A and B are shown apart, each in its own frame.
Chain A
Amino acid sequence: MSIVRASDETVIVRLAGTWELTTGLPSPDPVRQELASGRARAVAFDTRELRAWDSAAVTFLARIAEACRERGVTLDRTGLPEGMQRLLRLAEAVPERPDVRRGADRRGWLERLGAATVSLADANRESFAFLGEVTLSAARLARGRARLRGQDLAVFIQECGAHALPIVTLISVLVGMILAFVGAVQLLRFGAQIYVADLVAIAMVREMGCIMTGIIMAGRTGSGFAAQLGTMKVTQEIDAFTTLGIPPIDFLVLPRLLALLLMMPLLTVYSDVLGILGGAVVSVGMLGLTPLQYLREANQALTLTSCATGIGKSFVFGALIAVAGCLRGMQCGKSSSAVGDAATSAVVTSIVWIIVADGLFAVIFNQLGI
């Protein structure tokens, strides 16, 4: 590019060679400076030596055109190739709407903190509203008036029951073995290795069985619920339920909630049994107990109350996972990245809720002396 002054009033910009995106974007600054020096009243172009061009040249021209407009300088486009003139016209055809452009976020930290707090309150209100709707929907179900498809329920039961068995098996056996290892090291010092059976049995049945199952289900099913509902929200499938007069809560949330409520206790019992078996492997293999000794000891250690607390908690955890998953799914934004956020948030929410609830249960059971 070179700049030639044809006369005092006209600046000729000569474009030559290749002007393409791959070769880089030329800077319009020399032309701007030339314009800033005063006197020039018109800009014209000479493109006889221009070999190849693409949007890079048009971007350059658009910037010069803008600079000319600012200074009230006439832009003579006749020297440009026809395609370039047309593209430039096209780019200028739709003027910018005045209210459209966005400035950077210039709010102070106090203002942003306030906005975050207000939106937190909104999110909480949403959560409570959702919880209320689920309760109402459950009440409709109890009166036999909820619109719930048995087929859906069966699919969800299979999905969060039978399909979860392999991972629950693996985790439970390993947790049982780990508990036995940890206990064995301590108890061996006192020659009390037989009590490994008590330790594993009580720990699995009261705490680890339901917590591990809860966390597994939060990770595989809760996030799944959030992603399913979130995608349905993005593709307006949930809106389609609403406009047909079918409450989406009845149709989408209830079967998922019921399926988890039904399956969590079963999975927990399964997990308890496998955990105790995992402990047996370590006790028999490492501590020299016979299987019969181990099982008899475990059997003595377990009471009905212990089993009931674990199973009772698993109901609650199931409800928490289903509600957290469905809530995050229904709150999902409108883009594909929002679906991912919803799934992540569902897992985090359910694990937090599970741990908090478990802490509360521990305090309550302690006070009740069970």
Chain B
Amino acid sequence: MGEAHITVHDLTLAYGDRVVLRDLDFHVERGTVFVLMGGSGCGKSTLLRALIGLLEPAAGEVSYGATSFTKAEPTERDRILRRLGVLYQSGALWSSMTLAENIGLPLGEYTGLSPAEIREVASLKLALVGLRGFEDYYPAEISGGMQKRAGLARAIALDPDILFLDEPSAGLDPVTSRLLDELILELRDSLGATVVVVTHELPSIFTIADDSIFLDAETRTAIAGGPPKELLEGSTDPKVRRFLTRGQEDASGETTHG
């Protein structure tokens, strides 16, 4: 298949002495949707933080394309970061700015567009996430789901090569969450972006994921990887099966009722 866009090699993550994840080895192919899944507290968000450089790994390395991100000089790092878009769990919109200003800030910093043109692009991005007309609203004035979509609009402001989404559908109603999934797939197809999604929402996982890894809180590492549908059919690991069937199958692999 395609080339590796993100490569994670022997990665170990720790907060002080407490190891959260160890010995991670996987790669994400260009133009695919990759899901980091696992139960609560397994370190999904920690791994995401390490991928986007907010957390220094205790060991191992993360590479984008052929360039090592972990060993990169600060200027090189900035250059890589500029090609990433991140949607944080609660949107993380800057509350003192309107939505148009939130999206316009990276555009103003990294392109030579005029203020009027920046606003045009910001409007387009808002329209893409279904928020046409909300340019002059402050984040506190719109609902949580809208904040999340506006956060996505900011993440795609600079047409990133790689989009990181931290629990994009958490806290959204099923319909909105479904629309968001479709939006993610649409962005992957039309912009050709690589998308890394942290989630534990099964419907989302099965709809959007091309590939995945499954993190486990007890062993503190990845215990399975591959397209989720194949994992559901083929995995023999009881933890993975329990997760992917919402606990309907118990550890022995038999279906329980209830």
Contacts and interface: CB of A to CB of B under 8 A. Distances in A.
B134 interface: yes
Interface in A320-356: 333-338
B190 A83 contact: yes
Contacts of A92: 127
A151 to B, nearest CB: 27
Given A90-B183, A94-B130, A21 B124 contact: no
B112 interface: yes
Contact of A333 (B114, B124, B140, B159): B140
A10 interface: no
A97 B131 CA distance: 9
Contacts of B251: none
Max count, chain B CB within 10 A of own CB: residue among A21, A25, A86: A21
A54 B139 CA distance: 27
B177 to A, nearest CB: 16
The prevalent SS among residues of A at the interface is: helix
B189 A83 contact: yes
Contacts of A82: 190
Interface stretch (A58-66, A137-145, A177-185): A58-66
Nearest to B116: A25
B140 A334 contact: yes
> How big is chain A's contact interface, by range?
20 to 34
A106 interface: no
B130 A22 contact: no
Interface string A48-69: 0000001110110011000000
B27 interface: no
A80 to B, nearest CB: 11
A188 interface: no
A148 B114 CA distance: 57
Contact of B132 (A55, A58, A63, A96): A96
B95 A337 contact: yes
A54 B159 contact: yes
B160 to A, nearest CB: 10
Given A24-B113, A335-B139, A58 B186 contact: no
B125 interface: yes
Nearest to A93: B130
A212 B208 CA distance: 62
A83 B192 contact: yes
Nearest to A95: B132
A55 B140 contact: no
Interface string B150-186: 0000001011000000000000000000000001001
A56 B121 contact: yes
Given A63-B120, A86-B190, A87-B128, A336 B95 contact: yes
Given A22-B112, A96-B133, A91 B107 contact: no
A94 B179 CA distance: 11
Contact of B190 (A84, A101, A336): A84
A352 to B, nearest CB: 25
Interface in A19-56: 21-22, 24-25, 54-56
Contacts of B134: 100
Given A25-B113, A54-B191, A101-B133, A335 B127 contact: no
Contacts of A25: 113-114, 117, 120-121
A92 B131 CA distance: 11
Contacts of A94: 127, 130-132
A102 interface: yes
A217 to B, nearest CB: 28
B95 A90 contact: no
Interface string A74-113: 0000000011101100111111110011100000000000
Nearest to A83: B190
21 contacts: A21-B111, A21-B159, A22-B110, A22-B112, A25-B121, A55-B121, A55-B156, A56-B121, A59-B117, A63-B120, A83-B190, A86-B189, A87-B190, A93-B130, A94-B132, A95-B132, A96-B132, A100-B134, A335-B139, A335-B140, A338-B95
Interface of A: 21-22, 24-25, 54-56, 58-59, 62-63, 82-84, 86-87, 90-97, 100-102, 333-338
Q: 9 tightest CB-CB pairs across the interface, nearest first?
A: A335-B95, A94-B130, A83-B190, A337-B96, A100-B133, A91-B127, A96-B133, A54-B159, A25-B117
